[in-house]
Amino acid sequence: MKPLFLTFAVGSLCGSLLAQEPQSKDSTQIQTLSAVLLKATKAKAQDPITQSNLTAQDLAPLNLGQDLPYLIQNLPGVVATSDAGAGIGYTGLRVRGSDATRVNVSINGIPYNDAESQGVFWVNLPDLGSSVQ
């Protein structure tokens, strides 16, 4: 009985080893795309829009260690909110009624918004107002 059992056991193992599918060739093809021209518009100083330019000298008297939204909340159309109410920690920035998750914030041309919520975590930028040039 043992030799018969061993024969069936070894036979079943050999069958499962041969059951794998052969590997197919890589069908990925590399394509070179043509160049894409990107255009952007930026408001000029003479355009009839509301704009405000702040310098480090403008922010220095207001900077008491609070997050940047609280430093610029006196600009027209800007509202700063804070979970704690002190301007330190989780703060938000609303511009002309837009929600804080709809305001694009770029630092040195790099978008700082969170990829998931599109909000800005100002708590991760302590005392950013002192670094403004």
- pLDDT, tens digit, for every residue of 91-103? 888 888 888 888 8
The per-residue pLDDT for 19 is 65
Length, in residues, of the chain: 133
Integer angstrom CA distances of residue 20 from 15, 16, 17, 25, 47: 10, 8, 7, 16, 69
Domain CATH number, residue 93: 2.170.130.10
Interstrand relation of 91-95 and 110-111 (parallel, antiparallel or unpaired): unpaired
Is residue 117 in some structural domain? yes
Asked, for residue 118, whether it belongs to a domain, the answer is yes
- Residue 71 inside a domain? The answer is yes
Please state the pTM of the whole predicted model: 0.55
- Provide the pLDDT for residue 20: 67
Cα separation of the two ends of the chain: 89
35 occurs within a structural domain: no
Residue 93 domain flag? yes
Q: DSSP state, 129?
A: G
Domain of residue 82 covers 65-124
15 — pLDDT class (breaks 50, 70, 90): low
Residue 18 has pLDDT above 70, yes or no: no
Residue 101 lies in a domain: yes
Distance, CA of 32 to CA of 96 (rounded, Å): 43
Query: For the segment 53-105, what is each residue's pLDDT rounded down to a tens digit?
Result: 778 788 788 777 778 888 888 888 888 888 877 767 788 888 888 888 888 88
102 occurs within a structural domain? yes
